[in-house]
């Protein structure tokens, strides 16, 4: 699975976020899987996804969002993200305003998502230097297994 989270920046501040790619595999296959994930990421920076892929992904995101609105976990996580956001102090703790702002940004991003905007955003947000030296790899091994 893949995830990207960010904090809406204040004016004149850069976007800060985390991109994570998670997968299960035999620990011996870890280097192969990491190489495949990075190759796919690099491909997506160079080539736009199909319009069908963007459309189906947006539909899954919208449906998931609608379903999550009915869960306590969504609201706990969403309000916590608002409190932790750089917008919290800027809006003097007005959680309703921060939440509404985040939802507006989310709708705008979904509305503007096309194959080319997806590719361009990946290329701009993750320059080559990001893929080379600014990553952390964590491997969880079965209990009792010692890495060689």
State the pTM of this model.
Answer: 0.67
Whole-angstrom CA distances from 74 to 13, 67, 70, 95, 125 are: 27, 10, 8, 15, 26
Please determine, for residue 133, whether its predicted confidence score (pLDDT) is greater than 80: no
Of 22-36, 58-72, 79-93, give the range with the top mean pLDDT: 58-72
pLDDT at position 125, please? 78
Please determine, for residue 136, whether its predicted confidence score (pLDDT) is greater than 90: no
pLDDT at position 111, please? 92
Please determine, for residue 38, whether its predicted confidence score (pLDDT) is greater than 90: no
Q: What percent of the chain has pLDDT over 90?
A: 29
Mean pLDDT of 114-130: 82
pLDDT at position 71, please? 95
More confident residue, 142 or 53: 53
Q: Note the pLDDT tens digit of each residue in 90-113.
A: 889 899 998 998 888 889 989 999
Q: Note the pLDDT tens digit of each residue in 19-32.
A: 778 888 888 898 89
Please determine, for residue 18, whether its predicted confidence score (pLDDT) is greater than 70: no
pLDDT at position 96, please? 92
pLDDT at position 15, please? 54
Give the integer Cα–Cα distance in Å for 138 and 28.
Answer: 14
């Amino acid at each position: 699975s893949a995830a990207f989270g960010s904090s809406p920046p204040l004016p004149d501040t850069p976007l800060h976020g985390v991109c994570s790619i998670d997968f299960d595999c035999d620990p011996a296959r870890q280097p192969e899987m990491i190489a495949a994930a990075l190759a796919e990421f690099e491909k997506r920076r160079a080539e736009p996804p199909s319009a069908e892929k963007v459309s189906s992904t947006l539909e899954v995101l919208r449906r998931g969002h609608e379903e999550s609105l009915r869960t306590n976990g969504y609201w706990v996580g969403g309000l916590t993200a608002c409190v932790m956001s750089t917008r919290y102090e800027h809006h003097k703790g007005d959680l309703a305003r921060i939440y509404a702002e985040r939802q507006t940004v989310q709708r705008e991003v979904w509305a503007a998502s096309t194959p080319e905007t997806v590719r361009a955003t990946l290329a701009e947000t993750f320059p080559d230097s990001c893929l080379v030296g600014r990553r952390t790899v964590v491997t969880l091994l079965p209990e009792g297994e010692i890495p060689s």
